Structure 1
Amino acid sequence: MTASSLPPGSTIGVLGGGQLGRMLSQAASRLGFDVIILDPEPDSPAGRVSARQIIAAYDDPEALSELGRACDVVTFEFENVPAASVERLEAAGARVAPGPLALATAQDRVAEKSFLNGAEAPTVAFAPVATLAELTAAIDALGLPALLKTRRDGYDGKGQVWIRSPEDAESAFSALGGRPAILEAAADFVRELSVIAARGRDGAVAVYPLGENHHAGGVLRTTLAPAEVPTTTQRRAEQIARSILGGLDYVGVIGVELFEMADGALLVNEIAPRVHNTGHWTQDGCVCDQFEQHVRAVVGWPLGPTDAHARIEMSNLLGDEVDQWAALAADPAVRVHLYGKAEARPGRKMAHVNRVLGAL
């Protein structure tokens, strides 16, 4: 511990009241911290397990001032929190982790990919696109098929469309509302991997074993971890994570999604400056899970161990799949993590389960 480490009994603020904020709050409580959530939704999943919730928009100046005054450190659960809100908190003297640089970088796909390539974390070829003429030129440069995405916002497959022929360009651009976009070359990858890593206030870095991810309809369905990969692949992923964390002067947990190519090379798909869905397996596969790790990092405690003690298959439960909770809870190999959301809308993440496949 250092003089700047926060002791138990301190208060952590979290921007965002969804499931990630809920699990962060639960981890913080185990370590003796109080948590205040700021979220516009009354009775949010995170708010119900925390000491208090401030019900307000993320850019509400008075609410941000109140949060900053009440908390010893502030963090966030998802990257669509306005970077300006984090900057406002810092300007008012609040301790914030991760900082606004990481948030702003992850919120703009062109800025993100430009940063990654500069940090020796290679990505697919890409081009910024603001007009239909620029899209046509980018198609000529990158070839087809290619993926058109909005520069900002969009997740779980939203805000993106494949272009498979030049004739698709105009309709694709219109489908995204003519908003500033990025065209990404297709990645002929073998599988998607991800690495969860953390950096402490002292610069120490801890990296978890890789996970192998499987999607359906643009939404993550399962993560198998630790993934079966050569040692060289794990080491390369660790190098990439360390480079990203250092380049952003990052404090906290980060998720890095990777494409494994046929020759074994790794390309970064995107980064998430927060705890990540593909890291949920750590709750039942590691001594120190990603949520406790994030809390440790932002309060200035030593980072916890990242070794896996079990192989885990994490599966998301979407919509009414959550109604399977009783049968799943009866399976001795399964641990159920329910998010406390009131409405099971189609495609909405309602819970996840970790199936223990065996000890390591």
Structure 2
Amino acid sequence: MILPGQTLGMLGGGQLGRMFTVAARTLGYRVLVLDPDSGSPAGRMADEHLHAAYGDAWALEQMAARCAVVTTEFENIPAQTLETLARKVPVRPAAGSLLHTQDRGREKTFIRSLGLNTAPFEVVTSADEAEAAFAGVGGPAILKRAAFGYDGKGQIPVDAPAAARQAFESLGGVPCVLEHRVDLAMEISVVLARGTDGATVCYPVAENIHRDGILHMSIVPARVTEAQARAAREAANRIAEGLDYCGLMAVEFFITTAGELLVNEIAPRPHNSGHYTLDACVTSQFEQQVRAICGLPFGDTRLLSPVVMVNLLGDLWTDGEPDWSALFAHPAAKLHLYGKAEARPGRKMGHFCVLGDDLECVISEAEAIFGAL
């Protein structure tokens, strides 16, 4: 076990790294962050911030020499960086575990290899393939960049073969995945941790509502049947085992109007839809990330109260600072701001959670607070 007093390395300095840093320091660890942004949110909370590129040889030497273990806050850290560090220090999750999650085509193929279902899809590497794939996948469909797409970026809805060709060209001709747009009843997610010994633990299932491709609200417990929740947890555990994963991860699912459970995406890191755990669970997802990579026993994932988490995007800052007094007037609302210097439309600046005994009342209160902001 890696015990408090030792130094944990974090690759990435955004809000996920920031909340990990807070959890780790609260537990008594030191944190060393590597991020090229001199003003990174995590870097400002860490014991030390290495302001350098992820491939910088000197910075990687520092991390390898000074850290007891290294982890990540996003999936697109260069594989070479992880492999270089892994020669001298444990890296959790390992580069091999992230390989499948850095490309949508590989990810979906891997998911299907485990006997789990996804929406119909085809990998597209040319404009001609885009047209042909539409006939195979069927419309309506959505073309997604295979790599580096998130929060609705790099995704274009298409409804005809010619539109698929045009969308492929507008995305720069990079490898893509064309995916059938299923009749969607609900989106849900499961956050889980897997330890160095292969043991896993799941958090309660979250029900997720998106706006313009970005998560707007997570509702916990999700309004699903116990059978659906159990199937989602079992699928998430199968994926973690298949990846030989160590750390904290999330799996996103579609539930179709026909009741079918489809795996949408794997997030090999803490997840936006798991932010509710900061206020409503015995152990937050970020403390659990610390425990998992350090080989500690898992913390209790029990839900203490129904909860709704609402994202705060930079759009709210268009006319200046939001009216926080409207939020603080609600004693069961908890505000989390990420310390980002510049608010931009679509940029995640923070979130708030609302807790209460009655889930429908909590949803209404959260919507009222967001409207007042």
Query: What TM-score does the superposition give when structure 1 sets the normalisation length?
Result: 0.96
**Corresponding residue SS for 2:232:** helix
Letter paired with 1:294: Q
Letter paired with 1:131: S
Per-residue deviation, 1:359: 7.4
**Aligned match of 1:84 in 80, 84, 105?**
80
**Aligned match of 2:175 in 170, 175, 180?**
180
Per-residue deviation, 1:305: 1.3
Alignment of 1:1-360 (within 5 A): 5-91=1-87, 93-319=88-314, 321=316, 323-358=322-357
Higher mean C-alpha deviation, range 58-67 or range 19-28: 58-67
Per-residue deviation, 1:43: 2.7
- What's the CA shift string for 1:150-194, capped at 9, x where partnerless? 111111111111111223123211111111111111221201001
- What's the CA shift string for 1:313-354, capped at 9, x where partnerless? 100111152623333133201000110111111221111000
Letter paired with 1:256: V
- Cα distance, 1:10–1:113 mapped onto 2, change above 3 Å: same
Per-residue deviation, 1:204: 1.1
Query: Across the two proteins, how many residue pairs are aligned to each other?
Result: 355
Give the Cα separation in 2 of the matches to 1:203 and 1:342. 39
- What's the CA shift string for 1:191-236, capped at 9, x where partnerless? 1001101111111110011111111111111100111221111110
Does the 8 A contact of 1:45 with 1:341 survive in 2?
yes
2:366 maps to what in 1? none
Give the Cα separation in 1 of the matches to 2:77 and 2:323. 32
Does the 8 A contact of 1:204 with 1:303 survive in 2?
no
**Corresponding residue SS for 1:310:** coil
Letter paired with 2:18: R
Runs of 4 or more, structure 1, over 3 Å off, are none
Letter paired with 1:330: A
**Corresponding residue SS for 1:358:** coil
Identity %: 48
Give the Cα separation in 1 of the matches to 2:345 and 2:119. 32
- What's the CA shift string for 1:222-265, capped at 9, x where partnerless? 10011122111111011101101100111111111100122332
- Indicate the RMSD between aligned Cα atoms, in angstroms: 1.3
**Corresponding residue SS for 2:323:** helix
**Corresponding residue SS for 1:121:** coil
**Corresponding residue SS for 1:268:** strand
Give the Cα separation in 1 of the matches to 2:64 and 2:328. 40
Does the 8 A contact of 1:132 with 1:173 survive in 2?
yes
**Corresponding residue SS for 2:350:** strand
**Gaps (5+ residues) in structure 2?**
360-373
Does the 8 A contact of 1:121 with 1:244 survive in 2?
no
Give the Cα separation in 2 of the matches to 1:76 and 1:326. 35
- What's the CA shift string for 1:81-131, capped at 9, x where partnerless? 11221111112x211101112222111111100111112221111111111
Give the Cα separation in 1 of the matches to 2:164 and 2:276. 39
Letter paired with 1:185: H
**Corresponding residue SS for 1:324:** coil
Does the 8 A contact of 2:70 with 2:90 survive in 1?
yes
Higher mean C-alpha deviation, range 322-331 or range 28-37: 322-331
**Gaps (5+ residues) in structure 1?**
none
Does the 8 A contact of 2:185 with 2:256 survive in 1?
yes
Give the Cα separation in 1 of the matches to 2:285 and 2:323. 26
